[in-house]
Structure 1
Amino acid sequence: MPHLVLYTFGVLKSPLDDPGPLTRELHDSGEAIYRKISEHPGYLARAEAADRGRGTHFDLDWGVWGEFAVPAWYGKGRAVGTAALDATLSLWTDLRSALDAVYTGLHREALNRRYDWFERTEHPNYVCWWVPDGVIPTWQDGVSRLEHLREHGSAPHAFTFRHAFTPDGTPDGTPARIKDVP
């Protein structure tokens, strides 16, 4: 059975190691959000670095998730002190589970505060696509799909919750009924 991949990418207003209260708030909320999401029905896995906390996203060992990559439009730093991004890559059993996890609970509360932490851009900040069972997506896959979404809009290759597709490539109108889905 195919699995849904969800890749998110955002440019932070401040570098990751900024000691300011807003950056600390983002970091402090992240651990609880990841824990809650990992308990959500339909959640399978997410990219986690083997050497977590020993550098920027670019320096970490992501194992089977591949080398960390960013979209072409990311123009901030890549080193400690200048890196200003947050990204996730996760696997789900189905679209509904991912949608529910993103738009309820602690994650929904964080979404309501996203503009405190993240820059507003004209670029999409997430993308979904389907992979066969057993396939682990890479960071580069996420970047490629997000850039495809930006250039071509939602399609079976790369889509949003609002304009989703089933694993066989047909439009899935169910999530579009959810109010407030970007």
Structure 2
Amino acid sequence: MAHHLAIYNFGLHVAAYDDPAVRGFVSREPLNFEAAARAEGYIGRSGYAGEPGPESWGVQAFPRFIAGSGFTSGPSSLSLWQDIETLMAFSYSGVHAEALKNARAWNIKQTWPPLVLWWVPAGTRPEWSDGVSRLEHLAEHGASPDAFTFKQAFSPDGAPYSPDRSRMKALVAENLSRQQDLLHLLTSISV
């Protein structure tokens, strides 16, 4: 059976979404969504209820780490990818890598894992609640075939997995060729 890789991430900003302190994040968000859509191996992402764009994959939920923060929501995403290499190539290069480089300016320091990965049968899509439960499981129990990270990855059959670095390098080059206009736009957006 074919599988796709699901990723859920969650963080908390240093200020409200409309505060100038996180304007750099807000300004980059559409560029990141567009870079993902252009990336090799991208399958799709959940939208957010009540916002333009893709439909929400279930009711958006947040992990217990939001408790006591003063926020009722936090920056999070849920998406599907062909495999680990395609997701890593997108995440750690180009537009998204530039956002990661500046994330400390917008987000509080986390005491929980920033993301969780897991496999789903091709043709199905996870819901927000799936990502929340898996992130909490990862935080409580560490990496397993049901909830893992890039550093401790597993294949769809549950075996430990080491990403193919040479394939990722080729994917990075391909993705960067599709993002040149987006990277240019970044030069005019402040952190």
Scaled by the length of structure 2, the TM-score of the pair is 0.80
Q: What SS class does the counterpart of residue 4 from structure 1 fall into? A: strand
Following TM superposition, the consecutive aligned residue runs of length 4 or more in structure 1 with deviations greater than 3 angstroms are 175-178
Q: Which of 44, 58, 66 does residue 58 from structure 2 map onto?
A: 66
User: Aligned in 2, Cα 1:141/1:151: closer, same or farther, shift over 3 Å?
Assistant: same
Q: Aligned partners of 1:106, 1:161: CA distance in 2, in Å?
A: 19
Q: CA RMSD in A?
A: 2.1
Q: Is the 8 A contact 1:166 1:172 kept in 2?
A: yes
Match of 1:2 in 2: 3
CA contact (8 A) 2:62 2:73 kept: no
Q: How far did residue 175 of structure 1 move? A: 6.3
> Aligned partners of 1:166, 1:89: CA distance in 2, in Å?
19
Q: Identify unmatched segments of 5+ residues in structure 2.
A: 169-191
Equivalent position SS for 2:75 = strand
Equivalent residue number for residue 98 of structure 2: 109
1:132-143 → structure 2 map (5 Å cutoff):
132-143=121-132
167, 170, 179: which one aligns with 2:159: 170
Change beyond 3 A, Cα 1:117–1:31: same
- CA offsets 1:46-100 (integer angstroms, 9 cap, x no match): 00135316xxxxxxx954x1111111121234xxxx5462000000011100011
The whole-number CA distance in structure 2 between the counterparts of 1:50 and 1:143 is 17
Matched residue SS, 1:11: coil
Would you say the 8 A contact 2:142–2:148 is kept in 1? yes
User: 2:145–2:158: 8 Å Cα contact kept in structure 1?
Assistant: yes
Aligned-partner Cα distance in 2 for 1:128–1:165: 9
Q: Distance in 1 between matches of 2:164 and 2:151?
A: 6
Amino acid across the alignment from 2:163: T
Tell me the amino acid that sits aligned with residue 24 of structure 2. Answer: E
* Identical aligned residues as a percent: 37
Name the count of aligned residue pairs.
Answer: 164
Deviation at 1:176, TM superposition (A): 9.0
Q: Residue 43 of structure 1 contacts residue 91 of structure 1 at CA under 8 Å; is this kept in 2?
A: yes
After TM superposition, the structure 1 = structure 2 runs for residues 1-182 of structure 1, keeping only pairs within 5 Å, are: 1-18=2-19, 20=20, 22-49=21-48, 51-52=50-51, 62-63=55-56, 65-75=57-67, 76-77=69-70, 82-83=71-72, 85-174=74-163
Shift of 1:14: 0.4
Of Structure 1 and Structure 2, the greater helix share is in 2
Contact 1:162–1:175 (CA under 8 A) maintained in structure 2: no
Contact persistence 2:48–2:60 (CA under 8 A)? no
Relative to the length of structure 1, the TM-score reads 0.84
CA distance in 2, matches of 1:62, 1:72: 24
**Paired residues of 1:16 and 1:83 also in contact (CA < 8 A):** no
